Structure 1
Amino acid sequence: MDSNPTISQEATLGAHDNTFVAQQNNYGLSAKDATDIAFQMFNQYYPQLRKDALDDLHELVQAELSKIKSENIVSPSPRIAIPTLQAASIAEEVDIRKLYAKLLARAMDNETKGNVHPAYIKIIDEMNEFDAFIMKKIHEINDSIPVARVTFNFDSRYLTNGMPRFYSPYFDGLGDEFKISKSIENLGRLQLINIFEGTVTSYDYENFKSMPYVVARFEEYKRLNKNLDLKLKVDSYVIQTTDFGNEFMNLCIQ
């Protein structure tokens, strides 16, 4: 029996003719073999990944530019075009490539090119598809959003992981609440939104205590901690889009 069988693995992102071939020992790989395999995979996969991603981006940019009057289309600044193409060339998520395509197209529209900040390229690079999805929802709401820090308290302490750090019924049904909270935190870190203590004047934050998700989590934690006298506590927060974030959303989202 051959003690060094050949392993063949197809690349993902459309590289149907590209395969990785590696020698694997039945009892594990040596440090050198493992390192060689990693570099071989990179050398074979990365160029094809870039080609597939850029081909897709080329079509997306053309589609965006087709919506613009031809007399307004201009060549982009190299400072925008080159890093955008570099970043998009390794973006595997389709929705992220769409953000790059929209940004590049806006940089080629004489009416919007002055609004395309170089920092937006890096911002897209630090987002995933779910971040973009939540950001689109925030843009659609187009208003101050009530959000709360809900905790299950006992004495002067509270249970960790009982609730996501930020919760709002405005995002109900969009996915896992903890995942939503992480996206909100990331969008805040990127300065696309502000998250601050305060209230939306027209909203009663006491309503958070009766939200089905909050009630279900609270009842479950009371069941698991019968020895504790748990109380619901709601700290009021607000989400607002920054001017910087609003311009980004106008360029890349709508």
Structure 2
Amino acid sequence: MIDPEASKEILNEAKALTTEVYKDIAKPALQEVGSVTGRTVKALLFPIRGLLWGWEQIEMIVEEGVKKKFEKIPEERRKSPEPEIAVPLLQALTYTAQNETLREMYINLLANSMDRDKEKVVHPSFVEIIKQMNTLDAKVFEKLSQNLYYQQIINPTIGIKNEAKFIGSALPDWYLGWTIEGYSEFDVSASLVRISKFGLIELMLDRTAGKEGYVELKNTQYLIDRLNIFKITNPNLELEIKGTDSVVYVNEYGKQFKSACQ
């Protein structure tokens, strides 16, 4: 039989232990609530959890997407994709599948890797290039690669007439005369530099592709509007659009990338 006093002492210790355990359990929950209201790192990262797709989701969208292209491949040309392409590609999709533009490039690359006739243009490095791209880069390259010849591009500046001086950062470093909806000309310029560093295009400063067209580029409405802004803010200066005539083109590696991913 247990001694009544000993029993009482055990109960008191149990109560004390229960209180401590409750505090320990409740503490993280209270901390997490506080983190949400406090806008901490954990709270701001919370939505990302929903973007990490599982294999079941990836398998479903890949099967559906690849099937459309795979059905067009003759039976004798069909093959399993190389692991060095398929494995990192599927891993990348776990966190980029929600991006429709990049997802389409991945799916096209995977489908083409299952076509024997595409073996020479599909390369494992293409997976890494897509991983480094954002939506803008993909759209700029898609538009740029519609023309596989030398394209006119300028390096515009707002300069002072009859002087070798210009206003810094007034215009994008590279200007093609067009932009992508939702993005500025500065964004497109930065994207062109990134794509060139991926090795897909060549930006050639002070090289020309014919003579006609450069004058029109320097007189687009965008450049005129920018010039007028700086004329208003600098009334004592006689300003004009200046710039260097240059060239951009999709190189052989870029053409292979286009063929494999688009």
Aligned residues: 232
Q: How far apart, in 2, do the equivalents of 1:98 and 1:246 lie? A: 17
Q: Which moved more, 1:79-88 or 1:137-146?
A: 137-146
Query: RMSD of the alignment, in Å?
Result: 3.1
Q: 1:238 deviation in Å?
A: 0.5
Please tell me whether residue 24 in structure 1 is matched to residue 13 in structure 2.
no
Q: Which residue of structure 2 aligns with residue 82 of structure 1?
A: 87
- Counterpart of 2:208, as a letter, is T
Structure 2 residue corresponding to 1:124, chosen from 124, 130, 147: 130
Q: How far apart, in 2, do the equivalents of 1:182 and 1:107 lie? A: 31
**Change beyond 3 A, Cα 1:201–1:181:** same
Q: Which secondary structure does the structure 2 equivalent of 1:149 belong to?
A: strand
Paired residues for 1:144-223 under 5 Å = 144-154=150-160, 155-169=163-177, 171=178, 174=181, 175-197=183-205, 198-223=207-232
Q: 1:90 deviation in Å?
A: 1.1
Q: Which secondary structure does the structure 2 equivalent of 1:23 belong to?
A: helix
Q: How far apart, in 1, do the equivalents of 2:90 and 2:236 lie? A: 58
Residue by residue over 1:104-123, the C-alpha shift from the partner in whole angstroms, topping out at 9 and shown as x without a partner, is 11111011023211111110
Compute the TM-score of the two structures, normalised by the length of structure 2: 0.77
Q: Which secondary structure does the structure 1 equivalent of 2:153 belong to?
A: strand
Q: 1:132 deviation in Å?
A: 1.2
Residue by residue over 1:141-194, the C-alpha shift from the partner in whole angstroms, topping out at 9 and shown as x without a partner, is 23211000110123443222321111112x357552122212211111111110
Q: Which moved more, 1:50-59 or 1:156-165?
A: 50-59
Q: Which secondary structure does the structure 2 equivalent of 1:89 belong to?
A: helix
Q: How far apart, in 1, do the equivalents of 2:112 and 2:61 lie? A: 17
Structure possessing the higher relative contact order (Cα contacts under 8 Å, 6 or more residues apart)? 2
**Change beyond 3 A, Cα 1:143–1:26:** closer
Q: Larger helix proportion, structure 1 or 2?
A: 2
Q: How far apart, in 1, do the equivalents of 2:66 and 2:54 lie? A: 18
Q: How far apart, in 1, do the equivalents of 2:33 and 2:72 lie? A: 51
Q: Larger strand proportion, structure 1 or 2?
A: 1
Q: How far apart, in 2, do the equivalents of 1:26 and 1:119 lie? A: 40
Q: How far apart, in 2, do the equivalents of 1:44 and 1:194 lie? A: 38
Q: 1:46 deviation in Å?
A: 5.7
Q: How far apart, in 1, do the equivalents of 2:130 and 2:88 lie? A: 11
**Change beyond 3 A, Cα 1:47–1:210:** closer
Q: 1:195 deviation in Å?
A: 0.5
Q: 1:227 deviation in Å?
A: 2.6
**Change beyond 3 A, Cα 1:123–1:25:** closer
